Structure 1
């Protein structure tokens, strides 16, 4: 099933996404909310993926675009099993013609991801994980490289899209405690792959929508990393989407970052 789902995501990208990259017409892009874009590629890819996933395992599918039309679909996350789909993670990048976007899916059981997939259409890379069986990139098992042990050498990302001017200023000031703290790739999927590769040591999110983080947090955990709320509570897909989420290379680096951000 792992390979079947990966191939499904690749085919959906080849059919609905890649042919439209840097070729979107004015009528191909809309706003679901202020600054929250959706394209015909998002919608078509989600339909293709959802149909294919049901053929692999006939359980409910919770897709980002379907939930935008019918929020009640989120209730399936609390059921015994469901699929979770983000057809284009980083839609704003896709619309702007930037290559930092991903296609993601996860298999959820009892509210927890048990398998996850991140596909990067522009590079062809495939990241997959199954709970208890490890994380893999293009068939090669991943282990997160050891991060620096000094907070001043850690490199991180914290998306600022939804922060106001004062919050951005505060984040910029606290960012001086690290080697680097930038906005990241504007795609959770891409940020997770960079965290896995060692290009980032931590990523702080102001929003934690389930389709943005289910696959990535599982991949990170299987590669030796950790994803927790700032108070140390575990990440749960059914939590409020406005709850902060701190991902880090390992528990020690998580503790260093948590102390630097919230304990002056």
Structure 2
């Protein structure tokens, strides 16, 4: 399978951030912000312009469907294509709620998947000007200030009481949602990052131990899954323990190693399967 040159996409992410996203950072007007599925599900002019700019340019590199977060919001049927053939996934501003608040934890994410399996991943942190990149079977790396370094998840497990990470209950409902929310609150090292891509960069770099989400989306989890696995993390669907697939939308968890995954599956997710 063809491997896309790292910088062919990396340059696009830097350019779109510089032109469509960063000029709006801490500079959004009220009419630049709207909501989608709920009053806390934000979308901004930066999200829409960035995705519209990236889509044709990604297709000029490899002509296949682009499963973008904002495109799916307008045409939900587009998501049905995520698990078949070659597809790009795009999250133009991951951490939009943070971006709206002027918080620095946001990023731009792109992945390339084949029949639902992530093959390449790019995560650009605009304020840090760092690119996180992974290739299936080829490892994970970080590019910063012209220097490339290999990424590796935490080498040893801390005590379970010392785990650091985060999670959310998006996609869960009713008693399940309440139960997992309550359990998350009891985790001593839990912190709210508000961006799957930013937290994935911390997991892949060895500073976080877990990330647990109540649902999957192709644009969030294809890049996150691959980056973290290639850095040595364990990632799987909570209810089955199966590898991530871009057609999934059930609970998902990635941890620094399988021991932590098993522990959280038995405690945080007790009663959910796996």
What corresponds to 1:15 in structure 2? 19
Shift of the alpha carbon at 1:47? 1.1
- Partner residue in 2 for 1:250: 257
Change (3 A) 1:198 1:257: same
C-alpha offsets along residues 13-62 of structure 1, whole Å, 9 cap, x if unaligned? 00100001011111111111212111111011001111210111122111
- 1:159 counterpart (168, 189, 212): 168
Distance 1:15 1:108 in 2: 27
Distance 2:202 2:172 in 1: 23
Kindly state the Cα deviation for residue 147 of structure 1 after the two structures are TM-superposed: 3.7
Report the Cα distance in structure 1 between the residues aligned to 2:36 and 2:183, rounded to whole angstroms.
32
Q: Which residue of 1 aligns with 2:216?
A: 208
Structure 2: gaps (5+ residues): none
Instruction: Specify every segment of 5 or more residues in structure 1 that has no aligned partner in the other structure, as ranges.
Output: none
User: Which runs of structure 2 are paired with 1:136-175 in the superposition (5 Å)?
Assistant: 136-138=141-143, 139-160=148-169, 167=177, 171-173=181-183, 175=185
3-state SS of 1:99 partner: coil
Q: Which secondary structure state, in structure 1, belongs to the residue aligned with residue 112 of structure 2?
A: strand
Deviation at 1:170, TM superposition (A): 5.6
SS in 1 for 2:131: strand
Given that 1:86 and 1:103 are in contact with CA atoms closer than 8 Å, whether structure 2 keeps it comes out as: yes
Match for 1:51 among 50, 56, 60? 56
Provide the residue aligned with 2:118 in structure 1: 113
The superposition leaves residues 40-90 of structure 1 with CA deviations (integer Å, 9 ceiling, x where unpaired) of 110110011112101111221111101111112123223321111000001
**What is the 5 A alignment of 1:26-175?**
26-34=30-38, 35-138=40-143, 139-160=148-169, 167=177, 171-173=181-183, 175=185
Alignment check: 8 A CA contact 2:35 2:43 kept: yes
Provide the rounded CA distance (Å) in 2 between the counterparts of 1:59 and 1:170: 37
Contact kept? 1:147, 1:198, Cα under 8 Å: no
Instruction: Provide the aligned C-alpha RMSD in A.
Output: 2.1
Q: Is the 8 A contact 1:189 1:212 kept in 2?
A: yes
> Does residue 224 of the first structure (1) align with residue 238 of the second (2)?
no
